[in-house]
Structure 1
Amino acid sequence: MDSENINHKALQEVLNALEIDRKKIAETYKTCYILFGLAALILAIGLLISFPMLAFFGALVPLVIGVVMYFQIQDEVKKYKFVYKTNVVSSVLKEINETFSITPQSGLPEYEFISSELFTTEPDRYKTQDLISGTADKTSFWFAEVHAEYKTETQTKNGTKTTWHTIFKGIIFVADFNKNFEVSTVVRPKGVGDAIGAWFSKNVFSFGNSELVHLENTIFDEIFATYSRNQIEARYILTPAMMERILELNKKSEDTISLSFIDSKMYIAFPLSHNYFEAPIHSSLLVPDLLTDDLSIVQFMQDIVHELDLNTRIWGKK
């Protein structure tokens, strides 16, 4: 038996064991939902027949049992999800690229999110997970899921109301561009500042002497606004070929991407509507297309290296 068959057999054994855990968790959740529904039904009937005390105490029993069961299963849920990512997802990632590794509890540091200059608003609440790193030929790259939010506070009769707004939800991709840029060059969707509304003036990042760069590709200029402190370097980075690659890359994303070229790194923000690499609870693990969608995004991220020709070492680091 060759190593590939051994690996597939080992992975199948992991999936079989995890499927047992998944079914237990799913059944527990189902029981909790039934108990919560029963509590609501008892309360409704009791109030309908004008026995509020009976309704309250009658509903309390299934409600308490359901809540206790729900919280008791959470440790098993966390363990199940962690094993799924570290054993199943990690193993399958190696089939795409043997250098790939996933660290579920790590992500893109908040300081790097801010220093990327991809966004005009500094987050008040920041979550990140599922850091995947690897190399393609000579190019090192990594990416992670990020959800960054800012808050607004308004005064009401009952006090202060806090409302949370999403700055960004999706994947941030970082790659070594093999060039120490003298200044930062940022490419954002046109109109991105409008989404920040009145809060924009509170925490806007200063562009210093950055200027709007008008490029030769009219389609690119219609979609993106490019800012840089050095017009010459911006055009050196955003060659006609590079702009065409970025436009092609943008077509593959759910929404308009953002890019920045800072120090020796390139950052790309891909807006995405849902989380990846999450273990299913209410559907089977033993299906052939279990990781199809997740792997497509990983392959997509790796293809960025080739799409943007990052492995062509035309610039040496200074």
Structure 2
Amino acid sequence: MDSEINSKANLQDILNTLEVDRKKIAETYQTSYILFGLALVILLVGLFIRFVALGIIGCLVPLIIGIVMYFRIDEDVKKYKLTYKMSVVGAALKDINDTLTITPQSGLPEYEFISSELFTTRPDRYKTQDLISGIADKTSFWFAEVHAEYKTETRTKNGTRTEWHTIFKGIVFVADFNKNFEVSTVVRPKSFGDSIGAWFSKNVFSFGNTEVVQLENIDFDNKFVTYSRNQIEARYILTPAMMERILDLNSKSDDTISISFIHSKMYIAFPLSHNYFEPPIHSSLLVPDLLTSDLSIVQFMQDIVHELDLNTRIWGKE
């Protein structure tokens, strides 16, 4: 009991210290924004009174000061965010599961994102962060935020225009399925097939010898398309109970999930627009619901192990 009280007291001390840092950062940003606004006003006044040169010269002083302040605070912001994630989020995770850890500067490696076969497009730009890992009973699991994009280039009169398109933005969850699958089985949203043509030139999922698996759950087949190179193994994985659990899990997600079973792992992609585990800068840290949203998504991810009954070891790794 004493250790729990001491832990909460230490966390409060950390939050109090970080709140001082947050206010300094927020005030610096606010001052920078004011200087940017002042530079714009001076420039507009110069244009209005037809002293363009005076307006340009006059706006440079607050503009340069604002830019210097904005970028000088960058290292403090990085330190503030890292401390928050390691000390505040890291401590809060222990209340859910003592094995949970967060590694802010790590994530899901790009090669694993590609080898999961959840997507048909190879990323041209890939960002990942905030790797959280743990063990629920017998099952190891981990997940991270991922933003993968591909680019298209269009020739114009002035050269080449590059546009970036999102392949996936959200959380990719990985769990040990305790079975070495002979082939890959991939479950994608029904609507996913509509966009395959646009990405076909960068296809990374081989459709050779791959068949659409017809399953006995009509609701499941209406929501998802299942691909596999082994119909028997696919049905062995996607039992009636597993399909019902996946449908139930999908109903709790904001958007339709994608799942793959490859080697000895299960991958689940959850499309999400919210960026989790980031500390506030322009609002206080000292509020009771500070971590509510972040911890709810962690609890949701951990519950997948129970939702899909991954702790029932019906197979053993060969």
TM exceeding 0.5: yes
Following TM superposition, by how much is the alpha carbon of 1:46 offset from its aligned partner in structure 2, in angstroms?
A: 0.9
Pair 196,230 (structure 1): closer, same or farther in 2 beyond 3 Å: closer
Q: Is the 8 A contact 1:148 1:168 kept in 2?
A: yes
Q: Is the 8 A contact 1:193 1:200 kept in 2?
A: no
Q: How does 1:177-256 map to 2 (within 5 A)?
A: 177-195=177-195, 198-256=198-256
Q: In structure 2, what is the equivalent of residue 79 of structure 1?
A: 79
Aligned length: 318
Q: After superposition, what is the alpha-carbon deviation per residue over 1:181-233, rounded to whole angstroms, capped at 9, x for unaligned?
A: 11100000012133355342343521221100011111110110000011111
Q: In structure 2, what is the equivalent of residue 64 of structure 1?
A: 64
Instruction: Please tell me whether residue 22 in structure 1 is matched to residue 22 in structure 2.
Output: yes
Q: In structure 2, what is the equivalent of residue 46 of structure 1?
A: 46
Q: In structure 1, what is the equivalent of residue 144 of structure 2?
A: 144
Q: Is the 8 A contact 2:150 2:165 kept in 1?
A: yes
Following TM superposition, by how much is the alpha carbon of 1:141 offset from its aligned partner in structure 2, in angstroms?
A: 0.3
Q: In structure 1, what is the equivalent of residue 262 of structure 2?
A: 262
CA distance in structure 2 between the aligned counterparts of 1:129 and 1:220, rounded to whole angstroms: 32
CA distance in structure 2 between the aligned counterparts of 1:208 and 1:199, rounded to whole angstroms: 17
Q: In structure 2, what is the equivalent of residue 294 of structure 1?
A: 294
Q: After superposition, what is the alpha-carbon deviation per residue over 1:237-290, rounded to whole angstroms, capped at 9, x for unaligned?
A: 001110000001001111100000001000000000021000100010000000
Counterpart amino acid of residue 96 in structure 1 = I
Q: Is the 8 A contact 1:217 1:243 kept in 2?
A: yes
CA distance in structure 1 between the aligned counterparts of 2:158 and 2:203, rounded to whole angstroms: 27
Counterpart amino acid of residue 187 in structure 2 = V
Question: Secondary structure in 1 aligned to 2:166?
Answer: strand
Q: Is the 8 A contact 1:120 1:205 kept in 2?
A: yes
Counterpart amino acid of residue 26 in structure 1 = A
Following TM superposition, by how much is the alpha carbon of 1:158 offset from its aligned partner in structure 2, in angstroms?
A: 0.8
| Poorly superposed stretches of 4+, deviation over 6 Å | none
CA distance in structure 1 between the aligned counterparts of 2:96 and 2:236, rounded to whole angstroms: 33
CA distance in structure 2 between the aligned counterparts of 1:269 and 1:169, rounded to whole angstroms: 9
Q: Is the 8 A contact 1:152 1:199 kept in 2?
A: no
Instruction: Please tell me whether residue 164 in structure 1 is matched to residue 200 in structure 2.
Output: no
CA distance in structure 1 between the aligned counterparts of 2:94 and 2:136, rounded to whole angstroms: 13
Q: Is the 8 A contact 1:190 1:222 kept in 2?
A: yes
CA distance in structure 2 between the aligned counterparts of 1:241 and 1:193, rounded to whole angstroms: 25
Pair 232,117 (structure 1): closer, same or farther in 2 beyond 3 Å: same
Q: Is the 8 A contact 1:28 1:70 kept in 2?
A: yes
CA distance in structure 2 between the aligned counterparts of 1:182 and 1:84, rounded to whole angstroms: 42
Q: In structure 2, what is the equivalent of residue 37 of structure 1?
A: 37
Q: Is the 8 A contact 2:213 2:231 kept in 1?
A: yes
| Unaligned residue ranges in structure 2 (runs of 5+) | none
CA distance in structure 2 between the aligned counterparts of 1:84 and 1:202, rounded to whole angstroms: 38
Q: After superposition, what is the alpha-carbon deviation per residue over 1:76-131, rounded to whole angstroms, capped at 9, x for unaligned?
A: 00000000001000000011000000000000000000000000001010000000
Pair 196,231 (structure 1): closer, same or farther in 2 beyond 3 Å: closer
Identity %: 79
CA distance in structure 2 between the aligned counterparts of 1:147 and 1:196, rounded to whole angstroms: 19
- Give me the TM-score of the superposition, normalised by structure 1: 0.98
Question: Secondary structure in 1 aligned to 2:35?
Answer: helix
Q: In structure 1, what is the equivalent of residue 127 of structure 2?
A: 127
CA distance in structure 2 between the aligned counterparts of 1:277 and 1:243, rounded to whole angstroms: 31
